[in-house]
Structure 1
């Protein structure tokens, strides 16, 4: 299996430990079911030097879910936001 680090950069160019998705403590954020955690993962991607390559690779592979290149993927497509689990409220307006 090829990783983004081995595909785009040599070890002399960038250490895998500098990539936000390679942080063991943050790894679960990238595949969370919770929208707030996915937004945190997107924020971590913002400063990544491989953001464009990561997103393009995920599109080519039609990644089924997760945050790739600062975007949320679902069913191989980029979605703007992920809805939380459960039914939406009947009354969206608290004053109604």
Structure 2
């Protein structure tokens, strides 16, 4: 398990470029504060050949935050959904169609 993961994560190995987390354009999604970005990062992980190894490695290391193996981590644990920053609204926004 670990040897496969380290083989792909070796920067000299061209196969690491195949991993979605190694795409420079998408790298910020995996550690974003915005829940929508994290959901997009989870979708990028869906086709990754190392999804299980990545998730287990993050659990073993107790990763404090980010998307690892298609799961959102917070304080070293997997959470289902990350809430946005701030306090939730008491009243819904007015419907854009009504305006």
TM-score by length of 2: 0.80
Q: In the comparison of the two structures, how many residue pairs are matched? A: 91
Contact conserved, 2:10 with 2:16, CA < 8 A, in 1? no
Contact conserved, 1:72 with 1:82, CA < 8 A, in 2? yes
Contact conserved, 1:46 with 1:70, CA < 8 A, in 2? yes
Q: Which runs of 5+ in 2 are unaligned?
A: 95-99
Q: Which runs of 5+ in 1 are unaligned?
A: none
Change (3 A) 1:10 1:62: closer
SS in 1 for 2:67: strand
Map of 1:1-96 to 2, 5 A cutoff?
5-7=5-7, 15-91=15-91
Structure 1 residue 90: Cα displacement:
1.6
Change (3 A) 1:14 1:56: farther
Deviation string, structure 1 residues 9-52 (Cα, Å, up to 9, x no partner): 889x9700000000000000000000000000000000000000
TM-score by length of 1: 0.83
Change (3 A) 1:76 1:10: closer
Higher Cα Rg, which structure:
2
